C-alpha cells in the first residue's frame, strides 16, 4: 500500500497515511479537527527485487560488456588453449591407465 503525505492548510500540521489506491483522501486534520487536509505530491519510493530485465539489461553495475566473453585474449585465442604448464595430469577419477590421456 502506498504512503500518502498530507498537510493541513489551517494549522500546517503534516502527516503520513498508508492507504489503498481505492481509499478516499483524508479531509479532517487530527491536530485541529478542521476539514483542511491537502494531499501533497511527493516522490514515490520503490525497490525492484530479484532478477529480471531491469537487473540484467538496465542496471548500471559496472560489469563486463556482454560482447566480450571471458577467457579470451586480445588476439581472439583462449588463454588456456596452447598453453603448456607441463605434462597433462590425470583426472581425479581416472587412474591414468586409460585412453583419455
Q: How far apart are the first and last CA of the chain?
A: 64
pTM of the model as a whole: 0.44
Residue 36 reports pLDDT greater than 80: yes
CA distance linking residue 61 with residue 100, whole number of Å: 42
Contact 21, 2 (CB under 8 A): yes
**pLDDT band at 97; cut points 50, 70, 90:** low
Asked, for residue 97, whether it belongs to a domain, the answer is no
Which of 6-15, 39-48, 73-82 bottoms out in mean pLDDT, i.e. has the lowest? 73-82
CB atoms within 10 A of CB 10: 14
pLDDT number for residue 7 = 97
| Helix H or strand E encompassing 39 | strand 37-39
Asked, for residue 51, whether it belongs to a domain, the answer is no
Q: How many domains does the chain have?
A: 1
Asked, for residue 19, whether it belongs to a domain, the answer is yes
Asked, for residue 16, whether it belongs to a domain, the answer is yes
Residue 96, burial from CB neighbour count under 10 angstroms (0-12, 13-18, 19+): exposed
pLDDT number for residue 69 = 55
Asked, for residue 17, whether it belongs to a domain, the answer is yes
In eight-state DSSP terms, residue 18 is: E
Torsion angle of alpha carbons 19, 22, 25, 29, nearest 10°? Answer: -40
Asked, for residue 50, whether it belongs to a domain, the answer is no
* Residue pLDDT, tens place only, 50-82: 667 766 666 565 555 555 555 555 555 545 554
Q: Which residues contact 93 (CB under 8 A, 6 or more apart)?
A: none
Domain that holds residue 21: 3-39
Asked, for residue 25, whether it belongs to a domain, the answer is yes
Asked, for residue 86, whether it belongs to a domain, the answer is no
Amino acid at each position: 500500500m502506498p504512503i500518502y503525505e498530507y498537510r493541513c492548510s489551517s494549522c500546517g500540521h503534516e502527516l503520513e497515511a498508508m492507504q489503498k489506491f481505492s481509499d478516499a483522501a483524508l479531509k479532517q486534520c487530527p491536530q485541529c479537527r478542521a476539514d483542511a487536509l491537502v494531499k501533497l505530491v511527493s516522490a514515490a519510493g520503490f525497490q525492484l527485487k530479484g532478477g529480471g530485465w531491469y537487473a540484467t539489461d538496465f542496471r548500471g553495475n559496472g560489469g563486463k560488456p556482454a560482447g566480450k566473453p571471458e577467457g579470451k585474449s586480445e588476439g581472439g585465442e583462449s588463454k588456456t588453449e596452447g598453453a603448456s604448464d607441463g605434462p597433462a595430469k590425470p583426472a581425479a577419477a581416472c587412474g591414468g591407465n586409460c585412453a583419455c590421456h
